[in-house]
Amino acid sequence: MARLGNWIEPCPEGIYVRPADAWVDPSQPKPRALVTHGHADHARGGHGEVWATPETLAIMGVRYGEQNGHAIGYGESVRIGEVEVGFVPAGHVLGSAQIILEYRGEKVVVSGDYKRRPDPTCAPFVPVPCDIFITEATFGLPVFRHPDTGSEIDRLLHRLHADPERCVLVGAYALGKAQRVITELRGRGHDDPIYIHGALERLCRLYEELGVPLGELRLATGVPKAELKGRIIICPPGALNDRWSRRLPDPVTAMASGWMRVRQRARQRNVELPLIISDHADWDELTQTIHDVAPSEVWITHGREDALMHWCMLHQIKARELNLVGYEDEEDEDD
């Protein structure tokens, strides 16, 4: 019998699906690309044709201009070459999908980035039983156990109300995290205007167009200091410590990221209020997901794979590391 999944070729620049002559999340321009979601380490510009969810195509349109795109909604599938290709929610950011590949009776799921906990800005992850589960392992160590999101948001609000003379400046990635933090704040009853850095404006507007209400947002640039006291301001992580933030009224520097679990990372960015809010599965979510999809093999694309390889071995699941390059390089994009 042929080796399971021998029609899938992991290459440094992405996953090549031979009988479809197409690539999943290629880091180089390719004639045919299947894209899991809009983060820059997965969605690049310059492909010939792109298959993705309508939301991901819209995000790519904002970033790279109009795509030669084929929109595939959740639960839909399309035949590309000899492969049946389907998209189901990954729960990572708006439009994020797992890609289901079926060929000659084998089913392979490429998860892209994913998480299992609720996120009001996107559809929840759907476990799909499969023969091979190709997973990320960004937080693939047992020390990574993300706390409840609501309690992190409560810490942020508590800090805001504790000192009305200051503002709280939250670093959050422009695609996904910023909108999630805003929506979680609204869900906790924070109805005040939220101020945003100009770099977040286009994606926030797109989220609203795609049906994710964010409440009243105002651009922070040029606003008098007095108006910003007692306010929440959201900016990309790169702006936390730059000239732009120096014009704010004595900001409490916060950052929303799974990496805020690591004290060193918080210190590097001078973060006073680390908020552990992640768009990636933590250790329990990774192992629970492998349990749920019950694959014969697990292939790990990127992240901290050693512990997860070991866990798979203990559970009699064949595991393999792919060492794809380019994912996660962009620190400022994806956490």
User: Where along the sequence are the contacts to Zn ion (CB under 5 A)?
Assistant: 39, 41, 113, 327, 334
Nearest approach in angstroms of CB 89 to Zn ion is 14
Q: Which two tokens stand for residue 276?
A: 């552990």
**Rg of the chain in Å (alpha carbons):** 20
Closer residue to Zn ion (CB): 195 or 327:
327
Closer residue to Zn ion (CB): 35 or 85:
35
Q: Which two tokens stand for residue 115?
A: 């998480």
Nearest approach in angstroms of CB 219 to Zn ion is 26
C-alpha torsion angle, residues 72, 288, 9, 17 (rounded to 10): -20
Contacts of the segment 254-257: beta carbons below 8 A, 24+ positions apart: 254/156, 254/159, 254/168, 254/169, 254/170, 254/171, 255/170, 255/171, 255/172, 256/152, 256/170, 256/171, 256/172, 256/177, 256/181, 257/171, 257/172, 257/173, 257/177, 257/335
Q: How far is residue 93's CA from residue 87's CA, in Å, rounded to a whole number?
A: 14
Give φ, ψ of 274 to 5 degrees: -75, 130
Closer residue to Zn ion (CB): 139 or 283:
139
Alpha helix segments (H runs only) across 163-298: 177-187, 201-209, 225-228, 263-268, 283-293
Q: How far is residue 98's CA from residue 132's CA, in Å, rounded to a whole number?
A: 13
Closer residue to Zn ion (CB): 12 or 129:
12
Nearest approach in angstroms of CB 136 to Zn ion is 7
Closer residue to Zn ion (CB): 90 or 254:
90
Nearest approach in angstroms of CB 265 to Zn ion is 17
Closer residue to Zn ion (CB): 122 or 160:
122
From residue 326, give the alpha-carbon distance in Å to each of 25, 38, 40, 98, 131. Answer: 10, 15, 10, 19, 26
From residue 26, give the alpha-carbon distance in Å to each of 12, 108, 201. Answer: 9, 17, 27
For residue 148, the one-letter residue type is: D
Which 8-state DSSP code applies to residue 138? Answer: T
Closer residue to Zn ion (CB): 173 or 244:
173
Closer residue to Zn ion (CB): 311 or 327:
327
Nearest approach in angstroms of CB 109 to Zn ion is 16
